[in-house]
Amino acid sequence: MPERNKPNINPETSEVNPISETASETDKTSSSQNDIEKPQIISTQPRDCTEESKKKIKTKFKILIAIGILFFFAIAIMIIGATAQKTLDLDTKGELKNASFYYPSDWNISVDDENTLQVVSPEKTSSALLTIMDESLLDNYPSNRPNDSFYNEFADGVDKQHGELEDFSVGECTGKRFTCSFNSNNVSLRGECAVVFDGAKPVVITAFSSDATYRDAMSDIIDSFYCYYHKHSLNDWVVDKEASCTEEGKKHAACTECGKIIEESIPKLNHTEGEWKITKDISISSNGTVTPGTETLYCSVCGNEMNTRAYTIEVTTSQKNALKKANQYLSYTAFSYTGLIDQLEFEGFSTEDSTFAASHCGADWDKQAEKKAKQYMNYSAFSRSGLINQLEYEGFTSEQAAHGADSVGL
């Protein structure tokens, strides 16, 4: 009986290999003649790929990854190519008074007047605008100079969605720079804006384009911007109002370059010292104790108070005695100012000491006139004019005498 071909079993993997296709025709014939079907030998181990199959799978996977990467880069290159930034040959200088910028020579000037210069690209997709603003924009700002509030309000006026304000300077001129966008005739324009203070007015440069490929070029135009700091050259000052020690004066002059009228104030003059005057007299008690008073220095031109200081005196023994005697007299009868001085002189005090005592005894001379009028009316009858004459005789002034007559009903 012929021997059958046996399956090849790999001793390492226990994998059953197919029966060799080179079996002899004799075996095939013999096998076919056998009426009994031969059972297949099945491996009881899991079926794994051969090393060759694994390599093929890995190769296919790498190819797929490579294709994916190439596809990604192709898309990226298409996107970048669509928005690739173009440069401009900024070879032409545009000037407006003390400011300037550069733009391509094929751009056309669309506006050129005293305070504005605008150039536009041939396709009318890009433009640059230089403007000298009116100084009245600074009227509401301290010293008529821009501050952060000014720049924020200006940027909001250009574009409320503007980019962050960045410090910007050209020469001695300083200001702010920011990105901005807006729509014009349903066309979206994007670009940059810069505003600086040239010492007199705000100066603005704006560059914008509807073509996304020229956005960086707009920034280059802003970079080319320059502005000279304007220093006024003034003619002779004209005094509009002279200064005094109470008010500032005013003067003005015109700038010989820009024509602006510059106004300035003239500082107040210094006060001129006059004399010290007693504004609050000293008070002296009956025993001669002095409470200081106040004296004030006044300007001899305007009369305004310039300074104050304490005022006091040294009281001599004779002055103390005169003062004591004056108070004794006033305690039992009425006197006028001059009448008291006369009485003290009669007592032997000098005119100086008598006057000192009458001046510092603290008497109210209107009250003394009332008291003296009442004394006269107590022992005699008087007409009004007669009583007034009598009080004047006693040394009271006409006003004090009339006041005394009034006090007794005459």
Q: What is the DSSP string of 22-60?
A: T--HHHHHHHHH--SPPPP---SSPP---HHHHHHHHHH
Query: 7 or 205, which is more confident?
Result: 205
Q: What is the DSSP letter of 255?
A: B
- Report how far residue 311's alpha carbon sits from residue 80's, in angstroms, rounded to the nearest whole number: 92
What pLDDT is stored for residue 18 in this prediction? 45
Paired tokens of 218: 């707009």
Query: 313 or 170, which is more confident?
Result: 170
Please give the average per-residue pLDDT across 209-222, as a whole number: 89
- Position 17 confidence tier, pLDDT thresholds 50, 70, 90: very low
Specify burial of residue 240 (Cβ count, 10 A radius: 0-12, 13-18, 19+): exposed
Only one residue has tokens 């536009």, namely 120
Rg over CA atoms, the chain? 57
What pLDDT is stored for residue 240 in this prediction? 94
- Report how far residue 363's alpha carbon sits from residue 357's, in angstroms, rounded to the nearest whole number: 10
- Report how far residue 225's alpha carbon sits from residue 195's, in angstroms, rounded to the nearest whole number: 10
Q: Residue 229 in 3-state DSSP?
A: coil
What pLDDT is stored for residue 281 in this prediction? 82
Judge whether residue 15 has pLDDT over 70: no
- Position 283 confidence tier, pLDDT thresholds 50, 70, 90: confident
Mean pLDDT lowest among 13-27, 177-191, 380-394: 13-27
Please give the average per-residue pLDDT across 161-173, as a whole number: 91
Query: 44 or 64, which is more confident?
Result: 64
Mean pLDDT of the chain: 81
What pLDDT is stored for residue 2 in this prediction? 45
> What percentage of the chain carries pLDDT values higher than 70?
80
- Which residues have CB under 8 Å from 274's CB, separation 6+? 297, 298, 299, 300, 303, 306
- Position 241 confidence tier, pLDDT thresholds 50, 70, 90: very high
Closest CA to 191 of 205, 202, 203: 205
User: Chain-centre distance of CA 215, in angstroms?
Assistant: 33
Please give the average per-residue pLDDT across 43-49, as a whole number: 46
Specify burial of residue 369 (Cβ count, 10 A radius: 0-12, 13-18, 19+): buried
What pLDDT is stored for residue 348 in this prediction? 93
Helical segments of 140-224, H only:
148-158, 215-223
Please give the average per-residue pLDDT across 224-251, as a whole number: 89
Please give the average per-residue pLDDT across 218-242, as a whole number: 89
Judge whether residue 56 has pLDDT over 70: no
